[in-house]
Amino acid sequence: MLGLRGRWGLLRGACGFALAGLAIASCSSTTSHGDEGDGPAPTAGEGGEGAGGSGGNLGGAVSLGGSEATGGRTGGAGGTIALGGAISVGGTSGATSGGASSGGTTGGKGGVGGGEGGQGACAGVFTGYIRDFQPNVHPDFEPHNQKPTASSFYNEVETGIVQAALGTNSKPVYAGGATGTNTTLGPAYFPSWFTDTPGANIGIEYIIQLIDVLGDGVLVFDAAPFLPIDDGLSCPVQPQTPCLLGNSTNYPTHNYAYTFELHTRFVHRAGGSFTFSGDDDVWIFVNGQLVVDMGGIHARTVGTVNLDQLTGLVSGNEYALELFRAERHVTQSNFRIETNLDFTDCGFAVDR
């Protein structure tokens, strides 16, 4: 059996993981990564994501690994899972290729990971929801366009964008003031990140397949880059170009303007943990409380929550784990989950 270091391949530990209840665990990194090498590089005004980030100080039960020196498409995540084509990488629950009928709820072939298997009640198949945006329409995507100072904060974690408690609609609640935060424009714009909003976004269900790589009960999803709605002939469930709103207007070869949300339930057992590695904004809530706060536009960053360290959880009881992620800036998009939780629901529906 490999330890955590072995599982994560090139992800080098920037600090130890130390949690006590909801005590803060913080560290930082001065490493950097380059762009992915596809298409034109971002202009100097965009800042890019390659200048090296800071892990920041987290306000919850989080261990933060800091920005990672990944060096482009390798993503630094070990490359343990082979990705299929655009259709087999996810899809919607109703799709016949890469969706529920092939690699969907049955846990067969297809879906992200391109393999078979999975475990638990869901067979490793998780149904989330992606919303597509355009930077020239929604100012929180490439926010430097309307808020030039935002680029000064592009390579660091920004905590405090959302409130500590999930909203009654199972969506994050904006915590910024009337003028916004370092990388957001304010309360008028944030609600559409995770709400279907005509004129601002288009949404679609999207399946990710977590795989028990080592056969030890630890599920892994690893995509570097994670670009699920790039234009092409095999857009999810749409055999035409463009896919949804199309590639980003400032980066025509890829779509770097989208959000993803996932709502799950699990039975709490001793030793349960959930680790996310990626960029940009990532918020994870357990039992409605914020436990991973990695907001902002930053390089690949690692956040781990040890469920034993959270207060109020009772072994054997069922709780919700809800993940929210935003991709808001070229040119990196990384997405990795590693968890040993005992899931009972891998994608329950909420208001859209």
Q: What is the pLDDT of residue 152?
A: 97
How far apart (Å, rounded) are the C-alpha atoms in residues 196 and 134? 14
Closest CA relative to residue 153, chosen from 277, 278, 49: 49
Cα gap 60→55, rounded to integer Å: 14
Instruction: Please state, in angstroms and as integers, the Cα–Cα distance from residue 339 to each residue in 76, 211, 342, following that order.
Output: 18, 10, 9
Mean pLDDT over all residues of the chain?
Answer: 74
Strand partners, 156: 54
What's the pLDDT at 103? 33
% of residues, the chain, pLDDT over 70: 66
DSSP label at residue 4:
H
Query: Residue 96: its pLDDT value, please?
Result: 30
- Whether the pLDDT of residue 38 is over 90: the answer is no
Q: What's 105's DSSP letter?
A: T
Q: pLDDT: is 100 or 227 the higher one?
A: 227
* DSSP for residue 49: S
pLDDT of 287 = 98
The 10s digit of each residue's pLDDT in 241-282 is: 889 999 999 998 999 999 999 999 999 999 999 999 999 999
Side chain identity at 303, as an amino acid letter?
G
Strand partners, 330: none
Q: Average pLDDT, stretch 276-299?
A: 97
Summarised one tens digit per residue, pLDDT across range 90-145 is 333 333 333 333 333 333 323 333 333 335 678 999 999 999 999 999 999 999 99
Measured between alpha carbons, how far is 278 from 227 in angstroms, rounded to an integer? 12
Q: Is 325 helix (H, G, I), strand (E, B) or coil?
A: strand
Cβ atoms of 252 and 314 within 8 Å: the answer is no
Output the CA torsion sign for 60, 296, 257, 164. Answer: positive
3-state SS assignment for residue 131: strand
For the question of whether the overall pTM of this predicted structure is more than 0.85, the answer is: no
Sign, CA dihedral 243-245-249-251, equals negative
Question: Greater confidence, 162 or 240?
Answer: 162
Residue written as token pair 């149904």: 127
Contact 301, 14 (CB under 8 A): no
pLDDT the model gives residue 16: 29
pLDDT at 62 over 70: no
**pLDDT attached to residue 239:** 74
Phi, psi (deg, nearest 5) at residue 262: -145, 130
